[in-house]
Amino acid sequence: MGIEMEKKRNIAVIAHGGAGKTTLSEAILLCSGVTQHPGSVDKGNSHFDYEPEEKKRKISISSALHHYRWKGHDVNIIDTPGYSNFLAETRGSLRVAGGAIVIVSAISGVKVATERLWNYADEHEISRIAFVNKMDRERAGFFRAIDDMEHVLGVRGVAMQLPIGTGPEFKGVVDLLSMKAYYFKNDTSGAFDTKDVPEDLSAEAERLRQTMIECIVESDDNLLEKYLDGEVLETEELTSALREGTLTRKFVPVFAGSASKNFGVNLLMDAVNTCLPSPVDKGAIKGHAKGTDPLTGEIIEREPDASAPFSALVFKTHIDPYTGKLSMLRIYSGTITPGSQIINVNTGTKEKISHIYLLEGKDIKETPSACAGDIVALTKLKDTCTGHTLSAVEAPVVFDGEPRPATVLSYAIEGKSKSDEDKLSVALSKLMEEDMALDFRRDKQTKEFVIAGAGQMHLEASIDKLQRKYHCEVELKAPKTPYKETIRGTARVQGKYKKQSGGHGQYGDTWLELSPLARGEGFRFVNSIKGGVIPRQFIPAVEKGVTEAMEAGVLAGFPVVDVKVELVDGSFHSVDSSEMAFKIAAAMGFRDAMAKCNPVILEPLMNMKIVVPAENLGDVIGDINSRRGKILGAEPTAGSQTIRALVPMAEVVTYAPELRGMTGDRGMFTMEFSHYEKVPSYLAQKVITAAKEGA
């Protein structure tokens, strides 16, 4: 697109919810001249939070992209969600970013969600700079925020500036590289006056500069040697070492400002150009051939070169009921133009590109070409989804996409009318294409349609979108717990079916022995017939009769598991016996035997990992205990506690909003199925009664 690869940047803005990510992104567009007036989340005219669900809640729900040019650099900026319900969007965006601006609140410091996002950035080796925002607010603390970063995130934060004033008196910064003072104009323009360092700050500024230099030179052996020899270091040398240390993630440069007042934003944009990586700095991306194991198969590399074979990863999808599907992709190598022939390597589908678009918030702008390092959008791709790789037909390669995250909250869902029921599956399938954190399935046992997501707010926003985009009205209710039944004793029972009604009758006679299996073993059928007392051709019918009877146990109609059934004896009639007769006889015998084997109800238990602020540890453990949970352990992490517990599923179907309430939205959890265990006797009858009433 006419600019050197070294001058391209792809950056994400990340932080916990409410830290000011969207406000900063709007200020960047204003400073770069992309917009003449800053958009506002509160006023509902943001260029990034433009979906109705975002305007309603005044938060970012999905990642939004824009681009700007600043001092000869082209930058794609991704404004990401920060609330725990929507972090899957942020994780997917970090997959294609080269660098990130991490916002730390000067008031509240680092929160749990920021820690989680920091770990995502580590996974993708993202270089970062930090912006301590809200320096104009009461109780703001620049160095307290840096200390919090180092304590919670375990990172070395390097102050690049010294604030001039704090709170409402914040009016500028001393740049520790140039040793100049910048005084911001209070008109949201981003402009500033350059002056000498104030005398009352000169000693502190010099001390911080020495600390900064000592940290920076450690990333360059030659520069370190010069520094130790007492030689004067030029600003250009320090700037080069600053860039190297940031790219290699040895430290994180930290800047100060106020996004809402546009204080320090343009200085931060200079740091994006100076410190964060270009596609060339990120180097070749590794992929593999289709159908090979990405860990053990042949590695295929693609260099960030516009003349190399084309390759790109689709990292986000947007579907509009009227205009169709927009596939957003990060190009890693090669060049495309309208008319280019490419292939979706995951599906084998060849695609012809009709139009290429740049992303500008809710708008798109057509561009004549795109090449390595660019983030663009394509329309009308046939069966391309998020996570798919697009490639040159003659040089296919597969890049690994982000896996779907585990869901934490589920509801049974049904349409309010027949028309809504008819639209539901198709509409939710399209929402799942857009939203990797959303899941929709039919539970085989309960026969319910279930929608699952990252939390209460996530599901509420999804339902709002379902209604707005697809005019599908639904009702949600707590899903049924998939209980099961099993036995604890043994029994030997005859199952006999005999029916005579003119002509051929029906005759089947079986003797079954039931015994329990270890938990999780499922079902085992053993044929111990000898001497042909039951002909061989009827044995499969006996097993089928048993398995069909196991679909509904004798206590509450739940499926039966962990049972061994042995066919030990029986008899047949040469004329009246049939497969149907033996199937019925076996089912009768199984039900009779199960009732005599001390049947019990089993419930699913979930392995839970709960991350909460340290001050909430006691409350959360007490709550888990009240839910019949078993605490497996609790271990401290920086600024938080990680609890591992085993909890009955029935007790945590609505846990997400309850944890949010206990921790002020600072707690997060994941859970996965562990195993089944017997329901306590004092609860079993309630489960049985509820099942019969709901039948």
Q: What would the pLDDT profile of 291-342 be if each residue is shown by its tens digit?
A: 776 666 788 999 999 999 999 999 999 988 777 899 999 999 999 999 999 9
> What are the tokens at 33?
């001249």
State phi, psi for 36 to the nearest 5 degrees.
Answer: -100, -20
pLDDT for 259 equals 95
Half-sphere exposure (Cβ direction) of 94: Cα atoms closer than 13 Å: 27
Domains recognised in the chain with CATH numbers: 5-196+247-282 (3.40.50.300), 285-392 (2.40.30.10), 409-477 (3.30.70.870), 484-597 (3.30.230.10), 602-694 (3.30.70.240)
> What are the tokens at 209?
């500069």
Which amino acid, residue 520?
Answer: G
Distance CA 227, CA 214 (A): 8
Distance CA 687, CA 689 (A): 6
Would you give the end-to-end CA distance of the chain in angstroms?
64
Which amino acid, residue 432?
Answer: M
Determine what percent of the chain falls in helix, strand and coil, rounding each to the nearest 5: 30, 30, 35
Distance CA 489, CA 516 (A): 7
Which amino acid, residue 408?
Answer: V
**Model confidence, pTM:** 0.83
Query: Of residues 646 and 400, which shows the higher confidence score?
Result: 646
Question: H-helix or E-strand containing 286?
Answer: strand 285-288
> Cβ of 551: how many Cβ atoms within 10 Å?
11
State phi, psi for 259 to the nearest 5 degrees.
Answer: -65, -40
Nearest to 327 by CA among 371, 378, 366, 363: 378
Coil/strand/helix, residue 86: helix
Q: For the ranges 494-498, 502-506, 582-586, 626-630, which has the lowest average pLDDT? A: 502-506
Distance CA 44, CA 50 (A): 7
Is the per-residue pLDDT at 694 higher than 80? no
Distance CA 635, CA 607 (A): 16
pLDDT for 380 equals 87
Distance of CA 372 to the CA centre of its chain: 26
Is the per-residue pLDDT at 176 higher than 80? yes
Confidence of residue 1 (pLDDT cuts 50, 70, 90): very low
Residues 525-550 pLDDT 10s: 999 998 889 999 999 999 999 999 99
Distance CA 138, CA 133 (A): 12
Which amino acid, residue 27?
Answer: A
Confidence of residue 579 (pLDDT cuts 50, 70, 90): very high
Distance CA 453, CA 432 (A): 10
Side-by-side strand order, sheet with 474-477: 439-442, 449-453, 409-415, 474-477
Residue with tokens 């920091």: 118
Confidence of residue 91 (pLDDT cuts 50, 70, 90): very high
Distance CA 429, CA 439 (A): 9
